[in-house]
Amino acid sequence: MSVTLAVDAMGGDHGIVVTVPASTGLLAELPDLHIRLVGNADLINQALSQVPSEIKSRITVVHASEVVTMDDSIEVALRKKKDSSMRVAAEQVKEGLAQAAISAGNTGALMAISRYVLKTLDGIDRPAIAAVMPNQLGRGTIVLDLGANADCEAIHLLQFAQMADVMARAVDGIANPTIGLLNIGEEVIKGNQVVKEAGELLRQSSLNFYGNVEGNDIFKGTTNIVVCDGFVGNVALKTSEGLAYMISGLIKEEFSRNWISRLMALAAMPVLLRFKKRVDHRNYNGAVLLGLRGLVLKSHGSADKKAFTTALRRAYEGAKNNMVGKVADAFMVTHATNSHNETVA
């Protein structure tokens, strides 16, 4: 079965400069891949002028006249810009022209548009944002929600766990993924009210529930999946990004302090590069918007070609393995009567 991805070519800090080369690069690698590049057709065709015809034959350019910017409110993105590249990309999935949409644009807008265009799956109250964070074991830990739901009830945390369980099986090929509930140190008060209730629900479920985990367990890789509300998850993600940035800045600063340090950096370069490769966040780009009737991935806004390729590859794997269908099946069994497809616009 071939896979078609719809790429919001205009999204992110770099737009076409990144999205088009990443797309053509992955097309060259995967012969059963098709890509629908959505955005300003003139600019996209220009960027494609040097691309070999075999690759081009698996590209469809879909024109969209507008672009959602990082500053656009959800209101503007959803109601004013109805011909945005982001929205048209989501519509490709809705219309069955693509099996997944990928955008590096505004997260809030992408979630709102995807939710409006695709709707949520039966039995799912709240879609969530799930991404892989690196861990000591080199495998990566799936963490969700990373910011879609600032206020959550216990039942939502259970649903996040159920969705991530399917994703871990379908995309990452993990047989019986372990699930941790993000909580605070046992030596202090054991969590807030919502987390305590969520723990109860998870214990009663058929999931492979490990129990409570703490912030450091994300990087230890204690469990395959870590579940938390979107506020806590977003803080954990941004705090990690901030610390990693600070540490890499300090390493650079110390190695470029004077000519002796620079000489040492040169000597240690092979090791430093190997280290850099192992903690390279670009290998973990591509957050999945879980719980929709279609696969949508969010790339980091600052993604370069390599990072955006990782997101595309993750979308390809998700589509190839029918992730959305499997999530839908999992919820059809357990939540046959519990549909909440809101229409927000």
Minimum CB–partner distance for residue 91 and a second copy (Å)? 21
Minimum CB–partner distance for residue 224 and a second copy (Å)? 16
Measured from the CB atom, the residue of 173 and 270 that comes closer to a second copy is 270
Long-range contacts of 202-209 (CB under 8 A, 24+ apart): 202/157, 202/158, 202/161, 202/227, 205/158, 205/161, 205/162, 207/161, 207/162, 207/165, 207/179, 208/165, 208/176, 208/177, 208/178, 208/179, 209/161, 209/178, 209/179, 209/181
Q: Which of 217, 284, 310, 324 binds a second copy (CB under 8 A)?
A: 217
Q: Which of 170, 195, 323, 324 binds a second copy (CB under 8 A)?
A: 195
Measured from the CB atom, the residue of 298 and 326 that comes closer to a second copy is 298
User: Of 86, 232, 80, 58, which Cα lies nearest the Cα of 145?
Assistant: 232
Beta strands, E only, 9-69: 33-39, 59-63
Strand partners, 295: 100
Cα 209 from Cα 163, distance rounded (Å):
14
Considering only residues 233 to 292 of the shown chain, the ones binding a second copy according to CB under 8 A are 234-247, 249-251, 254-255, 257, 260-261, 264-265, 267-268, 270-271, 274-275, 278-279
User: Of 51, 100, 32, 113, which Cα lies nearest the Cα of 323?
Assistant: 100
Residue 302 interacts with a second copy (CB under 8 A): yes or no: no
Cα 26 from Cα 29, distance rounded (Å):
5
Residue 225 interacts with a second copy (CB under 8 A): yes or no: no
Measured from the CB atom, the residue of 116 and 316 that comes closer to a second copy is 116
Measured from the CB atom, the residue of 97 and 251 that comes closer to a second copy is 251
Considering only residues 87 to 146 of the shown chain, the ones binding a second copy according to CB under 8 A are 106-109, 111, 134-136
Q: How many residues bind a second copy (CB under 8 A)?
A: 68
Measured from the CB atom, the residue of 35 and 128 that comes closer to a second copy is 128
Helix axes 107-118, 85-94, angle to 10 degrees: 30
The answer to whether 167 touches 287, Cβ cutoff 8 Å, is no
Residue 219 interacts with a second copy (CB under 8 A): yes or no: yes
Cα 65 from Cα 67, distance rounded (Å):
7
Residue 345 interacts with a second copy (CB under 8 A): yes or no: no
Measured from the CB atom, the residue of 51 and 265 that comes closer to a second copy is 265
Q: Which of 13, 125, 153, 214 binds a second copy (CB under 8 A)?
A: 214
Cα 189 from Cα 191, distance rounded (Å):
6
What does each C-alpha distance from 3 to 57, 190, 320 come to in angstroms?
14, 45, 6
Residue 342 interacts with a second copy (CB under 8 A): yes or no: no
Measured from the CB atom, the residue of 2 and 256 that comes closer to a second copy is 256
Cβ neighbours of residue 167 closer than 8 Å, sequence gap 6 or more = 130, 142, 288, 290, 318, 323, 327
Measured from the CB atom, the residue of 52 and 242 that comes closer to a second copy is 242
Helix (H, G, I), strand (E, B) or coil at 343: coil
Residue 84 DSSP one-character state: B
Minimum CB–partner distance for residue 44 and a second copy (Å)? 25
Considering only residues 32 to 71 of the shown chain, the ones binding a second copy according to CB under 8 A are 70
User: Structure tokens of 140?
Assistant: 């990566």
Q: Which of 147, 180, 199, 318 binds a second copy (CB under 8 A)?
A: 147
- Sites of contact with a second copy (CB under 8 A): 70, 106-109, 111, 134-136, 147-151, 182, 184-185, 187-193, 195, 214-220, 228, 230-232, 234-247, 249-251, 254-255, 257, 260-261, 264-265, 267-268, 270-271, 274-275, 278-279
